[in-house]
Amino acid sequence: MAFTIKNSKLKMHHCDLAVIKCIDFRFRESDQEFIRSTFSTEDFDMFAWPGAAKQSLDSSIWKNDFIAKVKNVCIGLHGVRKLVLLWHWDCGGYGGSKAFASESAEESKYRSDLQTVKDSLVKHLPDLEIEMAYSKAIAEDELEYTLIR
């Protein structure tokens, strides 16, 4: 069975932004809305893995592979100039919120890991601006995004 879907962006090969985020489906739409509204763009490359780039803290092979993809595809082919590291609260890659003694401990860990990943990537991608952010549920159906600068 074949499906035909119109796509007006097939001839495009440029976007300014790439995002690395957790694969968790619950955040896909809101993460995309956060990126669109915060960075004023509809077009961005997106990488999604369980735990976002947390693996890069433990695996130089993973980090090197990711850096190669960013260099070759995002920067080389699409002209990306900015990368956003986007974490979310209660992430299963960290064992969920229950793995932390308190909300402040969870926030501290995410901020620390975001900074560590950013510092590592800056060494290999010095011309790429890197932003950090995370989301947290503040109501049953509402997320608050925090941009770390």
Its CATH class, for the domain covering 17-148, is alpha beta
Alpha-carbon Rg of the chain, whole angstroms? Answer: 16
- Note the pLDDT tens digit of each residue in 3-40: 888 888 877 789 999 999 999 999 999 999 999 999 99
**49: pLDDT strictly greater than 80:** yes
- Note the pLDDT tens digit of each residue in 65-120: 889 999 999 999 999 999 999 999 999 889 999 999 999 999 999 999 999 999 98
What ranges do the domains of the chain cover?
17-148
pTM score, whole prediction: 0.90
